[in-house]
Homo-oligomer: A and B are copies of this chain.
C-alpha cells in the first residue's frame, strides 16, 4: 500500500514559500535560488559575485548540503553572511524545503541586504519541486557535464528562470560548447533565458551581475 502525501506536503511548502517571498519583497531583498548537479560551481559563482559586488556584506546566503559546513565557511571568508543547513537533519536529505529556509532566514540580519541567495543541495531532480521563497531560480549547468543534461532533466530547465552555463573555459577540453547546451536547453524550452560564464577567466561575469541588478530593481521597484 502506498499513501501519497506528497501533494499535501507540497501545498504546505508552497504556502510557506509564498509568505517568505512576500516578507523578502517587503524588506527590499531579492531572493535568488541556485540549483544544479554537484560541482557545477554554485559556491564558486557566489565567491566571484562577492568579489565583484560593491560590498559583499550586502549579500547573504543560505546554503544546503547533506553534510559539512564547508560552503558556508567558504562564503563567510568572502565576507558574505551565510547560514548552512545540513539536510541530514531535515527529513528529506536531497533538497532544501521552505521550512528550514524560513528558520534560517530568521537568524539573518537583512536590513542592509541587496540579495539573498539560497544555494540548494547539488541535485538536478529533487530540489526543482520545492519552492523556497525565491523571486528567481537559476539552474547552473557546467559544460563538463555534457550537452544532454537539459533534455534528460527537463524540469530543471522548465521550472527555473535562467539557465546559466558554467565553466565555459573547459569547452575545448570536453568537446561541449555553450552553443551545444543552448540547443539542448531550447529543445526543452525555446524561450529560456540563458547566460554563459567562467569564473576562472571572468568571461560572462558582467552579464551575470547585470542580470542580478536588473532583477533586484524589479523587487525594489
Contact = CB atoms under 8 A, between A and B. Distances in A.
A106 interface: no
A39 B94 contact: no
Given A67-B154, A125-B66, A39 B146 contact: yes
Copies in the complex: 2
B126 A94 contact: yes
Interface string A113-156: 00000000111111000000000000000101110110111110
Interface string A95-127: 000000000000000000000000001111110
A170 interface: yes
Q: Contact size class for A?
A: 35 or more
Contacts of A71: 152
Given A121-B125, A142-B144, A144-B167, A70 B39 contact: no
B152 A170 contact: no
A96 to B, nearest CB: 12
A95 B134 CA distance: 26
Interface of A: 2-3, 5, 37-39, 65-68, 70-71, 91, 93-94, 121-126, 142, 144-146, 148-149, 151-155, 167, 169-170, 173-174
